[in-house]
């Protein structure tokens, strides 16, 4: 099963098909404009009109949460998606001006088979092993999440051999090309991006 999650801010191009779709708060309004089906709507609705959303989606389940909570609305959507035991979760959102939410969303990628994407980025994590990377965007940046050992990058413009990355390292930023990435331990955050 594939799950699409749509979160604000919008808009962005929708490029993946899914068996199940979750809208986070006002992203439901964006999906109405796109004539895109929605299976579940989640959020605390502190920044959108819940009555308007329910009027537009009279038969769609809405999970309303308290504004004062430990999870972000997007994390609540990811938790719902993980209940479906999906093979992939595509999390659509724009970075916007809220750097704190952008960082929180990147941390969600370690929770399962999640790809964060929009018109300018595609971000995901890699676990130990060897992975073939053919990026959809021209720049490929690698970050430890939070520690990586035995990192090998081959075929790209800037190779690495048996490197160790920690949370503070920036050596993996703005690589180009495609190839193989392998690591022996840790979790690697990959961000493909374009200007």
pLDDT tens sequence across 129-165: 999 999 999 999 999 999 999 999 999 999 999 999 9
Q: For residue 72, what are the contacts with CB-CB under 8 A and spacing of at least 6? A: 101, 104, 105
Residues 96 and 135 in one domain: no
Q: Over the stretch 52-70, which tens digit does the pLDDT of each residue have? A: 999 999 999 999 999 899 9
What would the mean pLDDT of 166-174 be, rounded to a whole number? 95
Last residue of one domain, picked from the residues 101, 119, 137: 119
The pLDDT of residue 195 is above 80: yes
The pLDDT of residue 96 is above 80: no
% of the chain residues with pLDDT over 70? 99
pLDDT range class, residue 79, cuts 50, 70, 90: very high
SS3 133: strand
SS3 30: helix
Residues 177 and 115 in one domain: no
Q: Give the model's pLDDT for residue 98.
A: 83
Residues 95 and 149 in one domain: no
What would the mean pLDDT of 78-102 be, rounded to a whole number? 92
Residues 76 and 7 in one domain: yes
What does each C-alpha distance from 33 to 10, 11, 37, 44 come to in angstroms? 11, 10, 11, 22
Both structure tokens of 135: 């990026």
Q: Give the model's pLDDT for residue 47.
A: 85
Which residue segment(s) compose the domain that 170 sits in? 125-193
The pLDDT of residue 78 is above 80: yes
Q: Over the stretch 97-124, which tens digit does the pLDDT of each residue have? A: 788 989 999 999 999 999 999 999 999 9
Whether residue 77 contacts residue 42, with contact meaning beta carbons closer than 8 Å, is answered with yes
- Alpha carbons 133 and 30: distance in angstroms, whole number: 31
User: Left, alpha or beta for 172 (phi > 0: left; psi -120 to 50: alpha)?
Assistant: alpha
Residues 27 and 103 in one domain: yes
What would the mean pLDDT of 36-58 be, rounded to a whole number? 94
Residues 159 and 106 in one domain: no
Residue 8: half-sphere exposure toward Cβ, Cα within 13 Å: 18
Residues 85 and 114 in one domain: yes
The overall average pLDDT reported for the chain is 95
The helix (run of H) or strand (run of E) holding residue 176 is strand 175-183
Residues 154 and 73 in one domain: no
Least confident range of 35-49, 78-92, 94-108, 111-125 = 94-108
In terms of pTM, does the model score above 0.85?
yes
Total count of domains within the chain: 2
Q: Give the model's pLDDT for residue 38.
A: 98
Residues 94 and 148 in one domain: no
Residues 143 and 56 in one domain: no
SS3 37: coil
Last residue of one domain, picked from the residues 119, 146, 179: 119
Residues 86 and 9 in one domain: yes
> Is the bond preceding 11 in cis, omega lying within 30 degrees of 0?
yes
Residue 131: half-sphere exposure toward Cβ, Cα within 13 Å: 20
């Amino acid at each position: 099963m594939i799950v699409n999650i749509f979160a604000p801010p919008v808009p962005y191009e929708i490029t993946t098909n899914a068996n199940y779709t979750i809208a986070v708060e006002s992203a439901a309004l964006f999906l109405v404009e796109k004539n895109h089906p929605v299976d579940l709507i989640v959020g605390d609705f502190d920044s959108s009109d819940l009555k308007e959303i329910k009027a537009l989606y009279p038969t769609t389940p809405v999970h309303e949460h308290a504004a004062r909570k430990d999870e972000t609305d997007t994390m609540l959507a990811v938790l719902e998606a993980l209940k479906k035991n999906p093979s992939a979760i595509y999390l659509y959102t724009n970075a916007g001006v809220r750097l704190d939410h952008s960082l929180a969303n990147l941390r969600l990628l370690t929770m399962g088979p999640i790809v964060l994407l929009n018109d300018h980025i595609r971000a995901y994590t890699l676990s130990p092993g060897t992975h073939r990377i053919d990026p959809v965007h021209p720049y490929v940046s690698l970050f430890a999440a939070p520690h990586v050992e035995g990192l090998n990058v081959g075929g790209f413009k800037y190779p690495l051999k048996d490197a160790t990355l920690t949370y503070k390292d920036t050596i993996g930023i703005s690589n180009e090309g495609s190839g193989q990435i392998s690591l022996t331990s840790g979790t690697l955050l990959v961000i493909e991006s374009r200007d």
